[in-house]
Amino acid sequence: MIISAVIFDLDGTVLSNEDEYGAAFKAVLRLLGKKVDKRYPHIGGIGVKENWPLLLSKYKIKTKRTLEELTRETQNEFLKRLGTVTFKKGFEKFITAFKKTP
Q: Does 2 reside within a domain?
A: no
Tens digits of per-residue pLDDT, 57-93? Answer: 999 999 999 999 999 999 999 999 999 999 999 999 9
Q: Does 90 reside within a domain?
A: no
Q: Does 59 reside within a domain?
A: yes
- Domain extent at residue 71: 18-84
Confidence category of residue 8, pLDDT binned at 50, 70, 90 = confident
When computed from its CA atoms, the radius of gyration of the chain, rounded to whole angstroms, is 17
Global pTM reads 0.85
- For the chain, strand residue ranges (E) read 15-16, 86-87
Other CB atoms within a 10 A radius of the CB of residue 97 amount to 9
Q: Does 98 reside within a domain?
A: no
Q: Does 5 reside within a domain?
A: no
Q: Does 53 reside within a domain?
A: yes
Total domain count, the chain: 1
